[in-house]
Structures are given as structure tokens and as C-alpha cells.
């Protein structure tokens, strides 16, 4: 089937889009990919929805802003795709299915005796009406309800992508987004995954908080900063790093307080080191040394993050592009792939990726009216 996948990350930067032809197992063709930046109005609305989500007490009605934000997210997806399809000479009728992740505004991992909470905003029914195509969405809820972490969900796609490019295990695929997550492919049918720690998220928040832009473009600030190793050690004392895998994070799970007294450049350099060292600890936790580490996501555009990873990890570090992958589109491709799996009733989460007891299907499909 031909599927258009969408992804909006916690960086609140853009709607990413990618076309796949897949049965949810093999990938028969890669169609075009693209992005459209979020409007400032949408970004501001989602920031406020996130702020309210972080204060949302369990057992109380959801914040009223969620409904408005879900509608706006669907409208942004439609507007982005209209431009994308026009540019690529495609029409909605050419697609069998759409896969929309939605905008994450809350992610709480499960605790002893307490299921987790995760919320992605995006009105799947509205997107189906606007496009006239069925939409797969709400991919994480079932996993969380069953006691899973609800994240990461891309690992089964990482395997499919690696196979499509002829890679062989053992290999690790590291996604550095707002949060960093890694998939270890150890052998036929044997894979595990978890969130290692922060990716770009803390650096983005720091730069924004200090009025120095939206992110550290090209690692400009970090490149001239000095790493404060004592602060890195303090950050690594967080109990998350002692927890067994699989495990997951929200980009707001770590505080910027430890770098508050540092100059911007030193703070950025220190957070880069924290990101890389957290990944190294993840490899130590797994006790595996892959033949190589393939890095996807926005973090690979930061030379300082890539240098830090290369210096600290026990295997050669490559970018997605080194294997002909579209590093900025992997997650949009992943949700096209997961949508196809949803349509076929195939599992999208697994005991070694989210901690569920058995492999689980997930997602809901809504038909256009």
C-alpha cells in the first residue's frame, strides 16, 4: 500500500512528511519526503498546551486547550501536505492510508503500580475528512494502557530500514531528537530499544530561555564552550540512568538548573557532553558493541554532538546519509510504516522496546465521512 506518514517532533519545528510503499513488513519503494515549518501561531499554541499538560493532574478533566490544539495540528498537517503533494505532482487519491503521529505534549513513564500517561494531539477524524483518506493515529495509547512505556515506537521501522539498505546485525540506530533513543539490532528477530537520555531538547530549551535563538545552529555556542565535568556528573546522577531497559523519557524530565550558573557557551558544551555520555551509558547498559552506530534525527546536524558521540561510543559513528537514508525523514517514514502495520494488525511495540508483556498492535484508523 502507498502511505503518507507525518511526524511533528518535540522541537516544534515542522511537519515532516514521507511516502512509503510497504505492506508493513518489507519496504517496496521510498516516495518523496519533505517538510513545512510550523506557523508561529501554531507553535505558540502547542507550547501553551504543553505547559498546561505538565500541570494536568491525573483524574481531572483534560485541559480545554487540547481540543483546539488537536484541531490546529490536523489543519497544519493538511496545509503542509497540500503544498507537498502539489510540489511532487501527487494527489490524495493516490494514497491508501495516512499515518499521523500527532504532537506529544505529555509523556510520563509507568511507575510501580501506576500506568504511564502519554498524550499526542492531532484530530485524526478531521484530517480524514479534509483529505478524504483513512488516517491511522493514536499509536501509543494501547501500549501504555497495557503497562508499556509507549516509546520508542520506531525500532521495528529501524530494522526494516536497515534491512532495506543491506545492513547486517549487530548494528545500532541512534535517533537524536528532543530525546535520544537507540535501537540495538543484535541478530535475526532480536532487537531492543529505549530512550538513552536527552537529545537536542535541553540545548534547545536552554538557548530559547536565554534569548539566543531557537536552537544551537551548527553547534556554534557549544563549539567555543568548555565542558563542566562536575555538572555532567551531577546530571548523570538522575535515577533514570540506574533504571533497567526498556525505559522512556519526556523532554522535560531533566532540569536546566545544574547549568544555570554557566555561561551560554559552556552550558551548551556541557549539555552536549551530557547527551553523548548518556548514550554511552546506554551502550554499557546493553552490554553490546555493534559494528557501527547509524545516527538519525536533528542532532546529527550538530557537529559538536557528532564529535562527542564519536569520542565516547565504542563503535564507528555514521550518519543516516552514509547509508543513503533520509536522516530528517526517518520518523515520518516510521509512522507511514507503523500505519501500514496498524492496518494489517501487526505488532508495533514489543517486550524489549516498550516493556509490554507480549508484542502488541496499536493505533486506530478512522475513515473519512
Task: Report, as an integer, the average pLDDT of 354-368.
Answer: 98
Query: Mind listing the pLDDT tens digit for each residue in 137-160?
Result: 999 999 999 999 999 999 999 999
| pTM, full prediction | 0.97
184 neighbors 158 (Cβ within 8 angstroms): no
Model pLDDT for residues 204-214, shown as the tens digit of each residue: 999 999 999 99
Instruction: Give per-residue pLDDT as tens, 292-320.
Output: 999 999 999 999 999 999 999 999 999 99
Q: Are 333 and 33 a contacting pair, CB within 8 Å?
A: yes
Judged against a pLDDT cut of 90, whether residue 188 lies above it is answered with no
Task: Give the distance from CA 343 to its chain's centroid.
Answer: 21
Three-state SS at 171: strand
| All structural domains of the chain | 2-148+361-366 (3.30.420.40), 166-323 (3.30.420.40)
pLDDT digits (tens, 9 = 90+) for 62-109: 999 999 999 999 999 999 999 999 999 999 999 999 999 999 999 999
Sequence-distant (≥ 6) Cβ neighbours of residue 180 within 8 angstroms: 174, 195, 196, 197, 198, 199, 275, 278, 279, 297, 299
Amino acid at each position: 500500500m502507498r502511505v503518507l506518514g507525518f511526524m511533528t517532533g518535540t522541537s516544534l519545528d515542522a511537519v515532516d512528511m514521507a511516502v512509503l510503499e510497504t505492506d508493513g513488513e518489507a519496504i517496496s519503494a521510498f516516495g518523496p519526503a519533505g517538510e513545512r515549518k510550523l506557523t508561529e501561531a501554531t507553535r505558540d499554541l502547542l507550547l501553551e498546551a504543553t505547559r498546561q499538560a505538565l500541570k494536568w493532574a491525573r483524574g481531572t478533566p483534560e485541559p480545554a486547550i487540547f481540543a483546539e490544539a488537536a484541531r490546529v495540528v490536523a489543519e497544519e498537517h493538511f496545509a503542509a501536505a497540500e503544498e507537498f503533494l502539489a510540489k511532487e505532482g501527487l494527489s490524495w487519491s493516490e494514497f491508501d492510508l495516512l499515518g499521523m503521529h500527532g504532537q506529544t505534549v505529555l509523556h510520563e513513564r509507568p511507575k510501580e503500580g501506576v500506568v504511564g500517561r502519554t498524550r499526542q494531539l492531532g484530530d485524526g477524524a478531521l484530517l480524514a475528512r479534509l483529505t478524504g483518506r483513512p488516517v491511522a493515529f493514536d499509536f501509543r495509547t494501547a501500549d501504555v494502557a497495557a503497562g508499556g512505556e509507549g516509546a520508542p515506537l520506531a525500532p521495528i521501522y529501524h530494522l526494516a530500514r536497515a534491512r532495506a539498505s543491506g545492513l547486517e546485525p549487530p548494528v545500532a540506530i541512534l535517533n537524536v531528537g528532543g530525546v535520544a533513543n537507540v535501537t540495538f539490532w543484535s541478530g535475526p528477530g532480536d532487537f531492543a530499544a529505549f530512550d538513552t537520555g536527552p537529545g537536542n531538547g535541553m540545548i534547545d530549551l536552554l538557548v530559547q530561555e536565554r534569548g539566543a535563538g531557537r536552537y544551537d545552529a551548527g553547534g556554534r555556542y557549544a563549539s567555543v564552550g568548555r565542558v563542566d565535568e562536575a555538572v555532567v556528573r551531577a546530571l548523570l546522577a538522575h535515577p533514570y540512568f540506574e533504571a533497567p531497559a526498556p525505559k522512556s523519557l519526556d523532554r522535560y524530565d531533566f532540569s536546566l538548573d545544574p547549568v544555570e550558573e554557566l555561561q551560554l557557551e559552556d552550558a551548551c558544551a556541557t549539555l552536549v557532553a551530557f547527551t553523548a555520555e548518556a548514550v554511552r551509558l546506554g551502550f554499557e547498559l546493553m552490554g553490546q558493541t555493534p559494528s557501527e552506530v547509524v545516527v538519525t534525527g536533528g542532532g546529527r546536524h550538530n557537529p559538536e554532538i557528532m564529535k562527542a558521540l564519536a569520542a565516547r561510543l565504542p563503535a564507528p559513528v555514521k550518519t543516516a546519509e552514509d547509508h543513503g537514508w533520509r536522516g530528517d525523514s526517518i520518523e515520518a517514514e516510521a509512522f507511514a510504516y507503523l500505519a501500514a502495520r496498524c492496518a494489517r494488525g501487526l505488532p508495533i511495540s514489543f517486550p524489549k522496546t516498550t516493556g509490554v508483556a507480549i508484542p502488541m498492535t496499536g493505533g486506530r484508523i478512522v475513515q473519512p465521512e
